[in-house]
Chains A and B, each alone.
Chain A
Amino acid sequence: MLTIFVFDANVVIGFHNIHYLGIVLKKLRELSNKVYMDENNVHELIKESGYKQKTLLKNSGIFEEISPDKEDFENFRMDLTKNKIFLSGPDKHVPYIAKRIKADYLITSDQNVLIKTEKIRKLYGIRYMKPMSNVALIHYLYVNGKFKFDEYLKIILEYFKYEEMKNIFDAIKNPDRGWELKDIRERFQLYKDPLLDALKEKVDGAQTKVGMYG
């Protein structure tokens, strides 16, 4: 069954920073999935990091860039304003396009977009467009058999080291919005739980085999 993803620009940048963008797109193609991005988010991507990542997306064979419908987008924007849901310029286009094409998952590493997407789902009473981060996308590929455990572990830890640590560092050093220790622990927990789950399943599976044939 075809699964549709909508990417925020930061997802592409995040994976590219740890040199896994090509691999992730290849695995998504093997699962016959599709990736969509609003043209405004593609412009944001080019503005922040050049054309290289867009080329990778285009060459993947599963990527499609969509132009927003002006009137439709205006109605969406008005709905958000009326319901006091604020999203900045390009960020608004992520849930907009995901809602328009009825995407299964919206991927973003921006926690604000993640929270607002959930609010938008509740506002329109929709069950698709589930928000998730890069980490959850890697988990998706793992549970669908596209990564072996060691690869999965490596990517998650790389992402934590280079991307999450950077976010945590920015949040800590901000004097007005500095995160508390419990916030950082909460972020860490998000990485720890799926990894331990996967490890437990692997160990349990190995033990069952030993029990059967040992």
Chain B
Amino acid sequence: MDKKTEKILDQLYADEIDVEEAAKALCISIEDVFELADNYNYIPISKEVIEACKIERETITHIKFIALQKVETKVRSEMVKPQLLSTPHYMDFRGLDLSKRLSIPMRNIFIRRAYFPLGLKVACMKGVKVTSYRREHRQYNISKLSSYYPKQDENISALKMAVG
């Protein structure tokens, strides 16, 4: 391959000229240019080496970012555990002609996903301190959680009396 052909192929690979221009300069068909180019061992110039290194560095940074994201998602999924929570909810029986207003505690039981920092035995949920002991009770025997509703029995007996 002569120097002129090599120079034109270098320009073609560097996107300085297109295939038509290369064919014109070499006085050959476009198909012949492709054939010549396929058999040519192009070595990138300084500017291209630096550009290629920059692209690779960006990809390496991206790979690291994605890997860290995966680790974070995995750790978070271990931190999130479905919890059965029951929170006190007071209802007013305004419609009833009662000598005194009653507040009857009801329990709203719902399942929610909650974030608990890893290794922490106690977490605060809406101002209620939730320990692992209470969580177990809440899941298996809710009625035992009378400490949350100190006036519950009094209120129920008062309502029974009022209703008759």
Contacts and interface: CB of A to CB of B under 8 A. Distances in A.
- Tell me whether A and B are bound partners: yes
Contacts of B52: 111, 114-115
A187 B57 CA distance: 11
Interface stretch (B39-47, B81-89, B93-101, B147-155): B39-47
A135 B45 contact: no
Contact of A182 (B38, B42, B46): B46
Contacts of A135: 56
A112 B48 contact: yes
B18 A183 contact: no
Interface residues of B, number: 33
A189 interface: yes
Given A88-B34, A89-B34, A114 B55 contact: yes
Nearest to A201: B64
B48 A111 contact: yes
B19 interface: yes
Interface in B110-145: none
B67 interface: yes
A186 B67 contact: no
B29 interface: no
Nearest to B41: A170
Given A84-B18, A131-B55, A111 B45 contact: no
Interface in B43-85: 43-46, 48-53, 55-57, 59-60, 62-64, 67, 70
B45 A177 contact: yes
Interface string B9-23: 010110100110000
Contacts of B70: 144
The B interface, classified by DSSP as helix, strand, loop or mixed, is: helix
Given A112-B42, A115-B51, A177-B45, A190 B13 contact: no
A39 to B, nearest CB: 17
Contacts of B38: 88-90
Interface in A77-115: 81, 84-86, 88-90, 105, 111-112, 114-115
24 contacts: A88-B38, A88-B40, A88-B42, A89-B38, A111-B48, A111-B52, A112-B13, A114-B56, A115-B52, A130-B59, A130-B62, A131-B56, A132-B59, A133-B56, A136-B56, A136-B60, A140-B67, A143-B67, A177-B45, A183-B49, A186-B49, A186-B53, A187-B49, A190-B57
Given A81-B19, A193-B60, 14 more contacts: A88-B38, A114-B55, A115-B44, A118-B55, A132-B56, A132-B59, A139-B60, A143-B63, A143-B64, A144-B70, A189-B53, A190-B57, A194-B60, A197-B64
